[in-house]
């Protein structure tokens, strides 16, 4: 048993350390209604569950949004789907002539979807029902 202990210690030292999720970043733009908006997506992936968590930053306005979703392997590349939320933002409560708006967030959430092939992410950003084509490239 004493002879096996050094061998076990040697094997334990050679075992790979658990991999820490690597941070992925993509930058690009989308035409939202009439203007081109610049975006940066930064996320980490849990390889066991394919879940992603990160932020989508609108670099044109300076706003940052929380992004959570999945990154699943597909036949033509990795398929990214994420819900984008503004988190705790100010809300509007107003009435005009008896008709009102209650608890309406000033910043809307969105859905981000696309396919990653190599260093290119092509997809769409859907905000308030309007879909905008989105193209991003990986930042190294």
pLDDT at residue 3 above 70?
Answer: no
Reduce the secondary structure of the chain to three states and give it as a string. CCCHHHHHHHHHHHCCCCCCCCEEEEEEEEEECCEEEEEEEEEEEECCCCEEEEEEEECCCCEEEEEEEEEEEECCEEEEEEEEECCCCCEEEEEECCEEEEEEECCCCEEEEEEEECCEEEEEEEECCEEEEEEEEECC
Q: Lowest mean pLDDT of 87-91, 94-98, 128-132, name the range.
A: 87-91
pLDDT band at 66 (very low <50, low <70, confident <90, very high): very high
Tens-place pLDDT, residues 4-33: 555 555 555 555 555 555 899 999 999 887
Domains and CATH numbers, the chain: 21-138 (2.40.128.120)
């Amino acid at each position: 048993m004493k002879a096996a202990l050094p061998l076990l210690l040697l094997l334990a030292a050679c075992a790979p350390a658990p991999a820490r999720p690597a941070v992925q970043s993509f930058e690009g733009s989308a035409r939202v209604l009439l203007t081109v908006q610049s975006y940066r997506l930064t996320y980490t992936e849990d390889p066991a569950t394919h879940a992603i968590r990160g932020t989508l930053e609108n670099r044109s306005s300076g706003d940052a949004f929380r992004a959570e979703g999945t990154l699943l392997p597909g036949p033509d590349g990795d398929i990214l789907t994420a819900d984008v939320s503004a988190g705790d933002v100010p809300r509007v409560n107003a009435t005009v002539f008896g008709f009102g708006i209650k608890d309406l967030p000033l910043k809307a959430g969105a859905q981000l979807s696309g396919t990653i092939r190599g260093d290119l992410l092509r997809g769409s950003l859907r905000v308030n029902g309007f879909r905008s084509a989105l193209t991003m490239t990986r930042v190294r």
